[in-house]
Structure 1
């Protein structure tokens, strides 16, 4: 695979984009990928194909957030070919690999230089953004509950809708869950703006309530990406986000579990349509 042109991750700068035209860099059957790249797709089908492009609106799985799904379409006067994107991962080479398959076995495969039309599943992106920001709000809530959860440190999080959690080093008692949900309800009701910033590391550590030792979401010029829930707190983050906290919906603490000196807060997000 050529490494002369690296893709521009447009979702990091233009989160509202749902469609985008881009150019094909490479089309590689899964089994022809390098061992390093193939290892990114544990549940892939042997018939899957990985496509790299010059720029993309597809979020690549990472930071606990699932990737976008959607389609890439090539149209000409004589044919239309649709590629269904099922998962996106960032290769160590820097390319975003869009894995999936063509909608028809007779479809004309893309070739380098072709212009294709990207379209992501907007409803799924919105859900992932809601769940992701709910995790940040929940972490901010824990930081407020020092009487109930003293000396705890955030470790990691998963923002998969069916298995969302935030994990902390230290003990968080189960009786805190209603206090956490009350605080989350306040933040959601306040409709606080959610803004993305690019900061130098010094500014990042000054502005953010938590900064991990290792950060893998840096941008050009030594800047790091952060999300700021204005009036509540900021976090280093490479994920996608809602416009304001009102879009998150109701945050429910499902359970709090403990293992090896750590506490996991399992949560979900809901809106009125979920209860119908």
Structure 2
């Protein structure tokens, strides 16, 4: 199948409202592997340790096309929806309705926010993370393993404090002037548009660049269990968590 090109980037509706679960969109391209590109989407594309969304695209003929993964395309700004199997694809210009698997996404939102809290509680840098709907992990630059119960208690205090979570934007220059905002050692915030998105927890609990999806308040995370803390190198400690509800 030849690749079809287009000029406009995909509008990432999830970036401004993570609670949107559906939207109308227009097909703007089909890539060489059958991936579907839309002018706008509620599907989060894999990045920052958070998996891409799954769900369905309801086509103009009434069919539901299952989407197994969502990734960024080779061209910057384009999001690709990867369909399941060999079902017939929509045509370019077609208007359809996108629906994410909301239950899975919401668990990712709770998990992702919980990992921010762990980083803030331990006041250190992140060397890696992997978010799942059942279990997640975060790797932190810590010389000695922290006490598991102490981490559990501190995280639950932050959750129960019901801190509000919001996003804001700063310029690349403002980020350069405040390098301490960057908590990740392995992945730098995306640059090039001139603006960087920050996620804030409470007034002063945590503030760091992040393009992922998050809940609106820490209390939405619910009961959380720190299941294991592992040594993964001289200064790398892996903390595993799961949602208890």
TM score, norm. by length of structure 2: 0.88
> Are residues 71 and 213 of structure 1, via their aligned partners in 2, closer, same or farther at CA, if it must alter by over 3 Å?
closer
Q: 1:178 aligns with which of 149, 160, 167?
A: 149
Q: Could you tell me how far 1:120 is from its partner in structure 2? A: 0.9
Aligned residues: 237
Task: Answer with 1 or 2: which has the greater Rg.
Answer: 1
Q: Could you tell me how far 1:219 is from its partner in structure 2? A: 7.1
Matches within 5 A, 1:226-245: 226-231=198-203, 232-245=205-218
- Supply the distance in 1 between the matched residues of 2:52 and 2:131 (Cα, whole angstroms): 11
Deviations 1:181-224 (A, max 9, x none): 1111111111110001111235443683725475243473x110
- Supply the distance in 2 between the matched residues of 1:218 and 1:15 (Cα, whole angstroms): 21
Q: 2:53 aligns with which of 68, 73, 76?
A: 68
Name the residue aligned to 1:19.
22
Cα root mean square deviation, aligned: 2.2
Name the residue aligned to 2:82.
99
1:111 alignment partner, SS class: coil
Deviations 1:90-125 (A, max 9, x none): 0120311100137x95x6x31100001111111111
Name the residue aligned to 1:57.
42
Deviations 1:1-46 (A, max 9, x none): 3131221111112222111111001234xxx33xxxxxxxxxxxxx
Mind listing any 5+ residue stretches in structure 1 that lack a counterpart? Answer: 34-48, 144-151, 272-276
Q: 2:233 aligns with which of 254, 260, 263?
A: 260
1:80 alignment partner, SS class: coil
Contact 2:27–2:39 at 8 Å: present in 1 too?
yes
TM score, norm. by length of structure 1: 0.79
- Supply the distance in 2 between the matched residues of 1:199 and 1:270 (Cα, whole angstroms): 35
2:93 alignment partner, SS class: coil
2:35 alignment partner, SS class: strand
Contact 2:128–2:184 at 8 Å: present in 1 too?
no
Mind listing any 5+ residue stretches in structure 2 that lack a counterpart? Answer: none
> Are residues 214 and 188 of structure 1, via their aligned partners in 2, closer, same or farther at CA, if it must alter by over 3 Å?
closer
